[in-house]
Chain A
Amino acid sequence: MALAFDEFGRPFIIIKEQEQKTRLRGLDAQKANISSGKAVARILRTSLGPKGMDKMLQSPDGDVTITNDGATILEQMDVDNQIAKLMVELSRSQDYEIGDGTTGVVVLAGGLLEQAERLLERGIHPIRVAEGYEMASRIAVENLERISEKFDFGLSNIEPLVQTCMTTLSSKIVNRCKRSLAEIAVKAVLAVADLERKDVNLELIKVEGKVGGKLEDAELIYGIVVDKDMSHPQMPKKIEDAKIAILTCPFEPPKPKTKHKVDIDTVEKFQTLRVQEQKYFDDMVQKCKDVGATLVICQWGFDDEANHLLMHRNLPAVRWVGGVELELIAIATGGRIVPRFQELTPEKLGKAGLVREKSFGTTKDRMLYIEHCANSRAVTIFVRGGNKMIVEETKRSVHDALCVARNIIRNNSIVYGGGSAEISCSIAVEAAADRYPGVEQYAIRAFADALDSIPMALAENSGLQPIETLSAVKSQQIKENNFYYGIDCNDVGTNDMREQNVFETLIGKQQQILLATQVVKMILKIDDVISPTDY
Chain B
Amino acid sequence: MAIDRIFKDEASEEKGERARMASFIGAMAIADLVKTTLGPKGMDKILQSTGRGRSVTVTNDGATILKSLHIDNPAAKVLVDISKVQDDEVGDGTTSVVVLAGELLREAEKLVAAKIHPMTIISGYRMAVECARNALLQKVMDNKEDEEKFKSDLMKIAKTTLSSKILSQDKEHFAKLAVDAVLRLKGSTNLESIQIIKKPGGSLKDSFLDEGFILDKKIGIGQPKRIENAKILVANTAMDTDKVKIYGARVRVDSMSRVADIEAAEKEKMREKVQKIIAHGINCFVNRQLIYNFPEELFADAGILAIEHADFDGIERLALVTGGEIASTFDNPESVKLGHCKLIEEIMIGEDKLIHFSGVELGQACTIVLRGASHHVLDEAERSLHDALCVLSQTVNDSRVLLGGGWPEMVMAKDVDELARKTPGKKSHAIEAFSRALVAIPTIIADNAGLDSAELVAQLRAEHQKEGCTAGIDVISGSVGDMAQLGISEAFKVKHAVLLSATEAAEMILRVDEIITCAPRKRENRM
- Name A's B-contacting residues (CB within 8 A): 24, 28, 31-32, 35-36, 39-40, 43, 46, 51, 53-62, 64, 66, 68, 73, 76-81, 84, 173, 176, 211-215, 232-234, 252-256, 259-267, 270-271, 273-274, 276-278, 280-281, 303-305, 307-309, 311-312, 359-365, 385-390, 393, 463
Instruction: Give the most central of A232, A278, A389: most B CB within 10 Å.
Output: A389
Complex contacts, A176 vs chain B, CB 8 Å: 126
Query: Who on chain A is nearest to B118 by CB?
Result: A53
Query: Who on chain B is nearest to A50 by CB?
Result: B119
- Give 10 A-B pairs besides A64-B78, A271-B265 with Cβ atoms closer than 8 angstroms: A60-B518, A68-B511, A211-B89, A234-B325, A254-B246, A270-B244, A280-B246, A305-B329, A362-B394, A389-B78
Q: In the complex, are the beta carbons of B254 and A265 less than 8 A apart?
A: yes
Q: In the complex, are the beta carbons of B508 and A389 less than 8 A apart?
A: yes
Please give the distance in Å from B265's CB to the nearest CB on chain A: 4
Complex contacts, B77 vs chain A, CB 8 Å: 62, 64
Complex contacts, B316 vs chain A, CB 8 Å: 233
B91 at interface, CB cutoff 8 A: yes
Chain B positions 109-156 with a Cβ under 8 Å from a chain A Cβ: 117-119, 126
Instruction: Give the contacting residue for A277; candidates B2, B191, B246, B326; CB below 8 A.
Output: B246
Q: In the complex, are the beta carbons of B6 and A270 less than 8 A apart?
A: no
Instruction: Give the contacting residue for A58; candidates B91, B119, B269, B515; CB below 8 A.
Output: B515
Complex contacts, A463 vs chain B, CB 8 Å: 117, 119
A360 to B89, CA, bound (A): 7
Where chain A touches its partner, the secondary structure class is mixed
Q: In the complex, are the beta carbons of A265 and B258 less than 8 A apart?
A: yes
Q: In the complex, are the beta carbons of B319 and A40 less than 8 A apart?
A: no
A158 to B74, CA, bound (A): 40
Q: In the complex, are the beta carbons of A234 and B513 less than 8 A apart?
A: no
Complex contacts, B244 vs chain A, CB 8 Å: 264, 270, 273-274, 277
Chain B positions 1-21 with a Cβ under 8 Å from a chain A Cβ: 1-3, 5-9, 11, 13, 19
Inter-chain CB contacts under 8 Å: number: 253
Complex contacts, B251 vs chain A, CB 8 Å: 263-265
Chain B positions 273-290 with a Cβ under 8 Å from a chain A Cβ: none
Please give the distance in Å from B223's CB to the nearest CB on chain A: 24
7 residue pairs A–B, Cβ–Cβ below 8 Å: A57-B517, A64-B78, A79-B7, A234-B326, A270-B262, A274-B244, A389-B508
Knowing A55-B512, A77-B516, A211-B85 are in contact, say whether A385-B246 is a contact too (CB < 8 A). Answer: no
Knowing A53-B512, A58-B517 are in contact, say whether A39-B6 is a contact too (CB < 8 A). Answer: yes
Please give the distance in Å from B124's CB to the nearest CB on chain A: 13
Q: In the complex, are the beta carbons of B328 and A308 less than 8 A apart?
A: yes
B479 at interface, CB cutoff 8 A: no
Instruction: Give the contacting residue for A260; candidates B248, B513, B520; CB below 8 A.
Output: B248
Knowing A66-B508, A362-B393, A387-B505 are in contact, say whether A264-B319 is a contact too (CB < 8 A). Answer: no
Q: In the complex, are the beta carbons of B89 and A261 less than 8 A apart?
A: no
B307 at interface, CB cutoff 8 A: no
Query: Who on chain A is nearest to B323 by CB?
Result: A234
Complex contacts, A387 vs chain B, CB 8 Å: 78, 81-82, 84-85, 501, 504-505, 508
Please give the distance in Å from B345's CB to the nearest CB on chain A: 26
A211 to B2, CA, bound (A): 44
Q: In the complex, are the beta carbons of B8 and A78 less than 8 A apart?
A: yes
Q: In the complex, are the beta carbons of B89 and A56 less than 8 A apart?
A: no
Knowing A78-B11, A303-B245, A386-B82 are in contact, say whether A173-B511 is a contact too (CB < 8 A). Answer: yes
Instruction: Give the contacting residue for B329; candidates A54, A308, A390; CB below 8 A.
Output: A308
Chain B positions 68-102 with a Cβ under 8 Å from a chain A Cβ: 72, 74-75, 77-78, 81-82, 84-85, 87-91
Complex contacts, B521 vs chain A, CB 8 Å: 60-61
Instruction: Give the contacting residue for B515; candidates A56, A212, A276; CB below 8 A.
Output: A56
A28 to B250, CA, bound (A): 72
Instruction: Give the contacting residue for A35; candidates B3, B84, B253; CB below 8 A.
Output: B3
Q: In the complex, are the beta carbons of B504 and A386 less than 8 A apart?
A: yes
Complex contacts, B509 vs chain A, CB 8 Å: 66
A8 to B259, CA, bound (A): 85
Complex contacts, A304 vs chain B, CB 8 Å: 236-238, 328
Complex contacts, A76 vs chain B, CB 8 Å: 516, 518
Q: In the complex, are the beta carbons of A305 and B88 less than 8 A apart?
A: no
B514 at interface, CB cutoff 8 A: yes
Complex contacts, A277 vs chain B, CB 8 Å: 244-246
A173 to B251, CA, bound (A): 64
What string of 1s and 0s marks CB contacts (under 8 Å) between B488-517 and chain A? 000000000000110011011101111111
Query: Who on chain A is nearest to B72 by CB?
Result: A62
Q: In the complex, are the beta carbons of B6 and A79 less than 8 A apart?
A: yes
B449 at interface, CB cutoff 8 A: no
Q: In the complex, are the beta carbons of A40 and B6 less than 8 A apart?
A: yes
Please give the distance in Å from B259's CB to the nearest CB on chain A: 10
Knowing A265-B253, A273-B244, A362-B89 are in contact, say whether A64-B74 is a contact too (CB < 8 A). Answer: yes
A173 to B509, CA, bound (A): 11
Q: In the complex, are the beta carbons of A56 and B247 less than 8 A apart?
A: no
Please give the distance in Å from B176's CB to the nearest CB on chain A: 21
A468 to B502, CA, bound (A): 39
Complex contacts, B1 vs chain A, CB 8 Å: 24, 28, 31-32, 35
Query: Who on chain B is nearest to A268 by CB?
Result: B265
A261 to B248, CA, bound (A): 5
Please give the distance in Å from A50's CB to the nearest CB on chain B: 8
Instruction: Give the contacting residue for A81; candidates B5, B254, B266, B505; CB below 8 A.
Output: B5
